[in-house]
Structure 1
Amino acid sequence: MHDYLGHPFQAELSRELARRGHCVRHVYCSTITVGQGKLRVGETDSDRLSIIGMPRQGHRGSGPGTYGQDVGGLIRDFAPHVVISGNSPVPVQRHIQQTCAERGIRFVYWLQDVYSARAPSGEAGHHDEWERTARCEKATLLSSDAVVAIAEPFAVFVRQCGVPSENITVIENWAPLAEMECDSDDWAPARSDRSSGKHIFLYSGTLDDRHGADLLVRLAKACDARNSGVLYVVSEGTGRLALERARQLGIRRLQLYDFQPYDRVPSMFAAADVLLAGLSTEAGQMSVPSKVLAYLCAGRPVLAAIPSTNRAAQLLEETGAGLVVNPDDPDEYVAAAFALLADSARRQRMGEAGQQYARRAFAIEPIATRFEEVLVP
């Protein structure tokens, strides 16, 4: 199992497969700045599970290609019957697939994101880079023994690349319910605001130009103007810079924190009155924000500024677990946020609806059975 980003639910799948008697090596990149899951073997884990964090080397000429070669070396040493890989930069995914082909190892492409769906900018050289990425992504999909797509639009894209329908299985993402549910809402950073009766908006996760940092700035300014609500943003990297600049300009009701240790994430979610997600119109078709699924476990309402055609948006509307607004309409976003703050009964209904859905849909046993059918046909 290779999951470049080290997300929680992939690790849960590895644990369940090992519990069923499979020998599982779980590999992830240990040197990227994202919120990661439970990536240490615990006392209750099967002795058939190993977890390895691979650094992405920082010396000249390194990067995803070097990382892919290192993962390829692990594959050659471990000699598995099957490799499933996802969340990887396209060159990494291609190198892993080619390593498997050379060794006669079954390769399953877990399609979490379609990189070639991101339109190139107008800057010189970007279109050529995008074309290389698109060709490489398509070649890797065509060379895979099977593809797991996380939503039907992803499966449509894979079929359009020429992959036969019989090689494609749709298995929607989930969140590790047992790890995310929490009885305590005592998250230390928010303790003071909560004790003084302030309502809390919380955004947690990756934050770049696709995830609506500008909307968060607008919401923080509105909290100040209305003297109501506090926005907590838990993230790192380039997308946080706009928020740091806003705070330097004097926005008072904005709190910024680095990614939290995984065992504190459930209480962090539970400390919020409203959980926030964002995804640009451009990225909305071929990316499903996994944070929304984790949010559902927390029993809190979700405000999502994402396209209505995105699977996460559809899920929120189907379950009644939150509100979906146009990511290109900041006024609608701010209005929806404060409408939720003003209606505690509605927030409770939405939170309970999301949690009930998570308890029905996120049980790992049937999910793992579906993956077994793909991995060991």
Structure 2
Amino acid sequence: MTSRSAGRFAWGSCFAASGMPGRVRWQRGVPGNHAKPCACAVMLAAHCTAESGMHVLVHDYGGHAFIAQLARSLARRGHRVTLLYNASNPTTPKGGLARRGDDPDELLIEGIALPRPVDKRAFVRRWRLERLYGRLLARRIVALKPDVVMCANAPLDAVRALDAACHAQGIPWVFWLQDLVAEATDRVLRKRLPVLGALVGAHYKRVEAGLLARSAAVVGITEDFRAPVLAAGVAAARYTTIPNWAPLDEVRPRAKDNLWAQAAGLERKLVFLYSGTLGFKHNPDLLLALAKAFADDHDVEVVVNSQGAPADWLRAQAAAAGLRNLRVNPFQPYEAMSDVLASADVLVSILEPDAGVYSVPSKVLSYHCAGRAMLLAVPADNLAARIVRDQGTGLVAEPRDAAAFIAAARTLRTDHAARQAMAARARAYAERTFDLAAITDRFEAVLSGCVG
């Protein structure tokens, strides 16, 4: 028996001893039967996979820093890890994708390039590019022949190509569910194309349900996703909740008076800062209203670091209204993120009411790492709002209540002691919660359970 097969035998034996299904076999066209492991199984998985190693292909369409951190952590445990991402998606901030001097040899990070950048608002062109991207992704899967694939943040047409390639090659794949993409698609298209949009939305709901059912396992970022995933026909034993996190060692609290703040002339200003994507699920009017509310307060600046059509609109509106206290910058280098966030006194996040059902703004997790007070216009039952409210790390308003949002901003503007207390609680929460070793244990258990 090879060390690889011995590890898998031990993993299956531990499941059997705990009264759960033993070795999990994933066959072409048949979703795997993923069981939730006991504590013994998690420890044994970490031991046996470290000896035998898996080839794990992690696909993250967005190229997010925390997913790159997980890829590195898995590689340091002796797994061969390939991280693929979309290199032609300019409206999503990326991080941690450059090769580092201490990266293990087992780690490969590779961008998939398209003939032109993806424009989210050009629906037909976007659809064609996403289908092309799926074909390019499928080719890499076939060429690399990993033991298991885990996919996050990808358009459903690209996931269909991934699913087809994995089934054709007999490779199990894990659906890492960051958003309920079909729900988002349905809601956006119904607003813009009332009749056709409903038909397209219904189509993608069927597609997403089928992909969830065909995956070997589903990892959701919130328990809120459990009910819709099970409604799609996924067995409860195949669903695991692993909340998102942010890299503690990469986003750190820094002094407000730092090099980035000095270069921007912000070191002596009270700064409300928004950093991240602005898309269909965000209302930039709230950021414009925030700047207008403090237009006569010359000590206050509103800074937005983002790219794409909403950021361009915001820049144009600020110019038209003569708002000198609103700056719209492009995405900043990930390596400067600690200084960028530290330049803020209050970090801002927004999310449309409908989007609260299908999305969790992960920027709020990076904000906690940075150790700053937060101002959110996010639905009250959204996970991000619950974290901020429960941990006392900021103030939350409903996204349709602009008056409450501005009132909360004014409270944070004037209450320095409250901001300091919120900032301290934010970093403390991140340090308690974002335990990379424990997070890697959980993903390793899911991935190992899918490999037959």
Contact 1:316–1:324 (Cα < 8 Å) also in 2: yes
SS at match of 1:302: strand
RMSD across aligned positions (CA): 1.5
Paired with 1:171 and 1:192, the residues of 2 have a C-alpha distance of 37
Question: How far off its partner does 1:62 sit?
Answer: 4.3
Paired with 1:376 and 1:113, the residues of 2 have a C-alpha distance of 24
Instruction: Calculate percent identity across the aligned residue pairs.
Output: 38
Q: Structure 1 pair 224/72, CA: closer, same or farther in 2 (3 Å)?
A: same
In the TM superposition, 1:27-38 aligns within 5 A as 27-33=84-90, 34-38=92-96
Contact 1:199–1:272 (Cα < 8 Å) also in 2: yes
Paired with 2:76 and 2:143, the residues of 1 have a C-alpha distance of 22
Q: Structure 1 pair 55/362, CA: closer, same or farther in 2 (3 Å)?
A: same
1:10 aligned partner: 67
Residue of structure 2 aligned with 1:56, choices 114, 117, 130 = 114
Residue of structure 1 aligned with 2:162, choices 85, 96, 113 = 96
1:84 aligned partner: 150
Query: What are structure 1's unaligned runs of at least 5 residues?
Result: none
Instruction: Verify: 1:242 aligned to 2:300, yes or no.
Output: no
> Higher relative CO (CA 8 A, sep ≥ 6), structure 1 or 2?
2
SS at match of 1:100: helix
Contact 2:260–2:343 (Cα < 8 Å) also in 1: no
Instruction: Verify: 1:262 aligned to 2:334, yes or no.
Output: yes
Instruction: Verify: 1:136 aligned to 2:180, yes or no.
Output: no
Amino acid at match of 1:41: R
Runs of 4+ in 1 over 6 A off after TM superposition: none
Instruction: Verify: 1:23 aligned to 2:111, yes or no.
Output: no
Alignment: residue pair count: 376
Paired with 2:192 and 2:288, the residues of 1 have a C-alpha distance of 26
Query: What are structure 2's unaligned runs of at least 5 residues?
Result: 1-57, 118-124
Contact 2:88–2:116 (Cα < 8 Å) also in 1: no
Paired with 1:166 and 1:213, the residues of 2 have a C-alpha distance of 40
SS at match of 2:249: helix
Amino acid at match of 1:261: P
SS at match of 2:199: helix
Instruction: Verify: 1:201 aligned to 2:272, yes or no.
Output: yes
Q: Which moved more, 1:173-182 or 1:186-195?
A: 186-195
Paired with 2:234 and 2:323, the residues of 1 have a C-alpha distance of 51
Question: How far off its partner does 1:246 sit?
Answer: 1.8
SS at match of 1:284: helix
Q: Structure 1 pair 53/216, CA: closer, same or farther in 2 (3 Å)?
A: same
Contact 2:388–2:394 (Cα < 8 Å) also in 1: yes
Residue of structure 2 aligned with 1:115, choices 181, 184, 192 = 181
Instruction: Verify: 1:321 aligned to 2:393, yes or no.
Output: yes
Contact 2:183–2:201 (Cα < 8 Å) also in 1: no
Question: How far off its partner does 1:227 sit?
Answer: 3.7
Contact 2:291–2:302 (Cα < 8 Å) also in 1: yes
Q: Structure 1 pair 141/127, CA: closer, same or farther in 2 (3 Å)?
A: same
Paired with 1:58 and 1:100, the residues of 2 have a C-alpha distance of 26
Q: Structure 1 pair 283/273, CA: closer, same or farther in 2 (3 Å)?
A: same
Paired with 2:280 and 2:172, the residues of 1 have a C-alpha distance of 36
Question: How far off its partner does 1:191 sit?
Answer: 4.5
Question: How far off its partner does 1:310 sit?
Answer: 0.3
Paired with 1:184 and 1:218, the residues of 2 have a C-alpha distance of 28
In the TM superposition, 1:267-282 aligns within 5 A as 267-282=339-354
1:159 aligned partner: 230
SS at match of 1:35: coil
TM superposition score normalised by structure 2: 0.81
Amino acid at match of 1:37: G
SS at match of 1:203: strand
2:356 aligned partner: 284
Residue by residue over 1:304-358, the C-alpha shift from the partner in whole angstroms, topping out at 9 and shown as x without a partner, is: 1000100011111111111111100111111111210101110011011010010
Paired with 1:189 and 1:77, the residues of 2 have a C-alpha distance of 46
TM superposition score normalised by structure 1: 0.96
Residue by residue over 1:74-95, the C-alpha shift from the partner in whole angstroms, topping out at 9 and shown as x without a partner, is: 1111111100001000111121
